[in-house]
Structure 1
Amino acid sequence: MRTLVVDGANVVGSRPDCWWKDRAGAARRLHDRLLRADLDHDEVVLVLEGAAKAGVPAGRDLHVRTVHAPRDGDSAIVALVTELSGAGALCTVVTADRVLAGLVSARGAVVSSPSYLLERLD
């Protein structure tokens, strides 16, 4: 199983489009774009934290699963990658956070940049 894990805060924050004025709305727009995208993964997991969680309920919507981070998104992503990799899934994490990239790489994930994903959503 190929899983794409999206660091929602990091992807939304990669474009200066006033997302900070409406974090929930920015998360909802990203979620909607992920739903419409034709991505080469069996599952897409969108990880949201803070105010962004109000934009999309936790749970599955077609091929996109939304996870609400109980604390910070990075910890939730590391835990998710650890679980998925342990179950044999091939994980790609979309983030520009270097610390997070190192943590998930050490757990077997491939890391891609927000621009990689956004180019496929446009």
Structure 2
Amino acid sequence: MRVLIVDGANVVGSRPNGWWRDRPGAAKRLHESIGAVDLGYDQVVLVLEGDAKRGQQVGEDGAVHTVHASGSGDDAIVEQVRTRNADGDTVVVVTADRQLRERVEAAGGSSVGPSWLLAQTS
């Protein structure tokens, strides 16, 4: 299975559009935008952390599966990559965070930047 994991905080933070005034609203808008298009993956996982978790419930909602990080969003993403890679899935993470990209690669995944995702959803 091909799995796309979205670093919600990093993607939302890649645009200076006032998201910091309404983190839950920004998370909800991101969820809606990625759920509205076919990204070419069997499953899309949106990882939310902190205050953004109030913007979207955990679980399946249409084409998007939302996960709430209990602590660090990066740690939750790496754990998702490890688990899915162990299951034989091909995993791609959307993030611009250089350290997270290195951790994702070490866990068996690959990554693309937020601009790729934002171009798909615009």
Bucket of the pairwise TM-score, normalised by the shorter protein: over 0.9
Give the structure 2 partner of residue 50 of structure 1. 50
Give the structure 2 partner of residue 61 of structure 1. 61
What is the correspondence of 1:23-102 to structure 2 with a 5 Å cutoff?
23-102=23-102
* Structure 2 unmatched ranges of 5 or more: none
* TM-score, structure 1 as length reference: 0.98
What is the CA deviation profile of residues 68-109 of structure 1, one whole-angstrom value per residue up to 9, with x for unaligned ones?
000010000000000000000000000000000000111221
State the identity %: 53
What is the CA deviation profile of residues 38-60 of structure 1, one whole-angstrom value per residue up to 9, with x for unaligned ones?
11100000000000000000000
Q: Secondary structure of 1:60's partner?
A: strand
* TM-score, structure 2 as length reference: 0.98
Give the structure 2 partner of residue 3 of structure 1. 3
| Structure 1 counterpart of 2:31, one-letter code | H
* Structure 1 unmatched ranges of 5 or more: none
Alpha-carbon RMSD across the aligned residues, in angstroms, is 0.5
How many corresponding residue pairs?
Answer: 122
